Amino acid sequence: MGSPNILLTRIDNRLVHGQVATQWNGTLGSNLILVANDKVSGDKMRQGLMDMAAPSGVAMRYFSLQKTIDVIGNASEKQKIFIILESPQDALALVKGGVPIKLLNIGNMHMAEGKRQVATTVAVDDDDVAAFRELQNLGVELQIQRVPSTPKEDPNKLFK
């Protein structure tokens, strides 16, 4: 099984939207955006909306977490992959499933009931923090950064 060319894995609870995908894609130079999300993989309407927000010339894939785990090893080296996830729990499921994620960019995690704001665009609850800690223990580097033009924030903010 080959090792897929994953340029970056990003958590953004809006997934592919607006300028964000385009800005990251411009920096990364990916040619395949993989949205790994159990709900979206079966939702053609949301896929259509994300296709409209996608950068031109980039292939879009919408896979469930399990399908991602099953097929990512078949990716060709020419596929420069940008994975977009909704949550740290999903990232942890992929890593535990053998997806070789080395760097996890934490972009947007919205405020919600029971969450606390820890960085400019990141709010977490205890379950999120536990997932991030486990990811770190599994050797994944955590990076808080909204878009490439904004400064990176200290990932230790997640654990305060």
Alpha carbon distances (Å) from 27 to 21, 46, 82, 84, 147? 10, 25, 11, 15, 10
Is 1 among the domain residues?
Answer: no
Number of domains the chain contains: 1
Percent of the chain with pLDDT over 70: 99
Q: Render pLDDT for 131-155 as a digit per residue (tens, 0 to 9).
A: 999 999 999 999 999 999 999 999 9
- Give me the sign of the Cα torsion angle 115, 117, 121, 125: negative
Q: Render pLDDT for 40-97 as a digit per residue (tens, 0 to 9).
A: 999 999 999 999 999 989 999 999 999 999 999 999 999 999 999 999 999 999 999 9
Is 17 among the domain residues?
Answer: yes
Alpha carbon distances (Å) from 69 to 17, 51, 94, 139? 24, 22, 6, 18
Q: Render pLDDT for 12-38 as a digit per residue (tens, 0 to 9).
A: 999 998 888 889 999 999 999 999 999
Beta strands in 64-148 (DSSP E): 81-85, 103-108, 116-119, 122-124, 141-144
Structural domain for 43, as ranges: 6-159
User: What tokens does 69 get?
Assistant: 């785990």
Flag whether pLDDT at 1 surpasses 70: no
Flag whether pLDDT at 127 surpasses 90: yes
Residues carrying an active site annotation: 17
Here the CATH number for the domain that contains residue 145 is: 3.40.35.10
**Residue 58, C-beta contacts closer than 8 angstroms, at least 6 positions apart:** 25, 30, 31, 32, 33
